[in-house]
Amino acid sequence: MTPDCYVTLGIFPSASREQVTTAYRKLCKLYHPDINRTPGAEEKMKVINAAYHILKDAGRRQEYDLGRAARQPRREAPKGPFDAPPQREEAPRREAPRHEVEAAAKVMSRYLSCLREGDHQRAYNLLCLYDRQYVTLQSFSQWRQSVERLFAMRDFSITREENVDSFQMDEHSFAPAKRLHIRITEKCFATGAVEGYPFVKHVVMEYGQWRVFLGYRDLSEIARMFEDLKSRQEQGELAKKWEEYCRHTCRGLDMLSLEGLVHEAAREIYRGRRYGQTMTVGLFSVAPQGRAASEDSLGDVVDMCARNLTGALRETDMAAYLGGGLFAVLFVEMKRRSAPAIVARLAKGMAEAVQRESGRVIAPRFAQAAFEGGTLEAAVDKLKAAL
């Protein structure tokens, strides 16, 4: 059977031409024969080229979409146990609202238990249809196996539960949904350290059943990242990096320095990708615009802003002071649509704190961008230019 062009490129049918091209170039970096010498890479690249050849041209894409729509199976009857609930004489009942969060938490607990026990099949079966449209059981298992070679989950707990009226991913909307705050304890095989850390996941309603939302389209690149990490770990490099982790902090403000943030972010990025979290970088400047700022001239303004910023952030976010009145924040699990408003509120909060405590009036400048790869230093430099 001919592969679906959209699934091949890992994009939605509503993707723009720019998104098609971006997805194609990303896959070329992974599977082009000049880069990837593994068996099957050349054949994979041929399939990718064929899909791109169709979707890059408006006429060919329109013709393909018409044929694709005609080939799509109708959803009048269930196609599998997770496609729709079994047909019964009466419509399936949803639980009463007061039980919904509890039921969603139970599904997430089963999912995490399966991950802890290494039962990839059962964990995969708990994912929502949106995820399973893009992620196969094979790629899901490869991802988990690469993680399990480096880390062993010891325990987990759901610390907080929130109702979400509607949860949207690109063009797809889930309603209702639940946001669960989770704390994971795991052992790092490189150092023997056992550590706990928080993260956030969503559970969404599909056909009257709660399902775990993963949010990834292609897990193969992430699996390769962990395989590379495992290789470096065996050479002793990871243990050395762990010893040097986050030594430098801005002690006067009890905040990370840029170097400390980079180290902390590296660990958080690995963790986030294991459990499917998105990240946003925000930059705030409280220095007077139009002239260079020294630490002496800024005086207590930086201290007041630092206290307000760290007090307003969530447990999962990380803040750093870069000097010269510049603060950087790495936001974990933040929707792109929400980021501008949240960053603006934080900047407003700092200005209000300074005026309340000292009577001074400042106008913080700010910028934010989704962190999708590359180095954190490069992301911060780009935001500095935007300011």
Structure confidence by residue, pLDDT tens digits, 329-364: 998 877 778 889 999 999 999 999 989 988 888 899
309 contacts 284 by C-beta, under 8 angstroms: yes
- What token pair was written down for 60? 């060919």
255 contacts 306 by C-beta, under 8 angstroms: yes
Residue 85 CA to its chain's centroid (Å): 30
Q: Which is nearest to 23 in space by CA: 8, 38, 36?
A: 8
CA R_g for the chain = 23
User: What residue type is assigned to position 217 of the chain?
Assistant: R
Beta strands in 167-261 (DSSP E): 167-169, 172-174, 177-188, 194-206, 209-213, 249-250, 255-256
Rounded to whole angstroms, how far apart are CA atoms 28 and 45? 7
Q: Which is nearest to 260 in space by CA: 320, 323, 301?
A: 320
- What token pair was written down for 93? 């009942």
Rounded to whole angstroms, how far apart are CA atoms 13 and 6? 6
User: What residue type is assigned to position 211 of the chain?
Assistant: R
Rounded to whole angstroms, how far apart are CA atoms 347 and 328? 12
Q: Report H helices in the chain.
A: 5-9, 17-31, 41-55, 58-71, 97-117, 120-125, 129-134, 137-148, 220-234, 237-243, 258-275, 295-298, 300-312, 339-358, 376-386
Rounded to whole angstroms, how far apart are CA atoms 188 and 47? 38
- Decide: helix, strand or coil at residue 1: coil
Tell me the C-alpha to C-alpha distance, in Å, between residue 204 and each of 56, 108, 232: 33, 10, 37
253 contacts 259 by C-beta, under 8 angstroms: no
Rounded to whole angstroms, how far apart are CA atoms 238 and 191? 9
User: What residue type is assigned to position 240 of the chain?
Assistant: K
Query: Which pLDDT belongs to residue 48?
Result: 87
| Burial class (CB within 10 angstroms; exposed 0-12, middle 13-18, buried 19+) of 49 | middle
Query: Which pLDDT belongs to residue 253?
Result: 63
User: What residue type is assigned to position 256 of the chain?
Assistant: L
Rounded to whole angstroms, how far apart are CA atoms 187 and 185? 7
Rounded to whole angstroms, how far apart are CA atoms 170 and 216? 12
Residue 365 CA to its chain's centroid (Å): 26
Q: Which is nearest to 47 in space by CA: 18, 5, 13?
A: 5
Q: Name residue, tokens 């850390």.
A: 197
Q: Report H helices in 168-219.
A: none
DSSP bridge pairs for 195: 186
Query: Which pLDDT belongs to residue 59?
Result: 87
Q: Distance from first CA to last CA of the chain, Å, rounded?
A: 51
Q: For the chain, which residues score pLDDT lower than 70?
A: 1-2, 71-101, 168-171, 190-191, 221, 223, 225-254, 271-276, 288-299
pTM: 0.41
Rounded to whole angstroms, how far apart are CA atoms 290 and 150? 48
- Domains assigned to the chain: 5-71 (1.10.287.110), 97-218 (3.10.450.50), 244-386 (3.30.70.270)
Rounded to whole angstroms, how far apart are CA atoms 244 and 295? 27
Query: Which pLDDT belongs to residue 187?
Result: 84
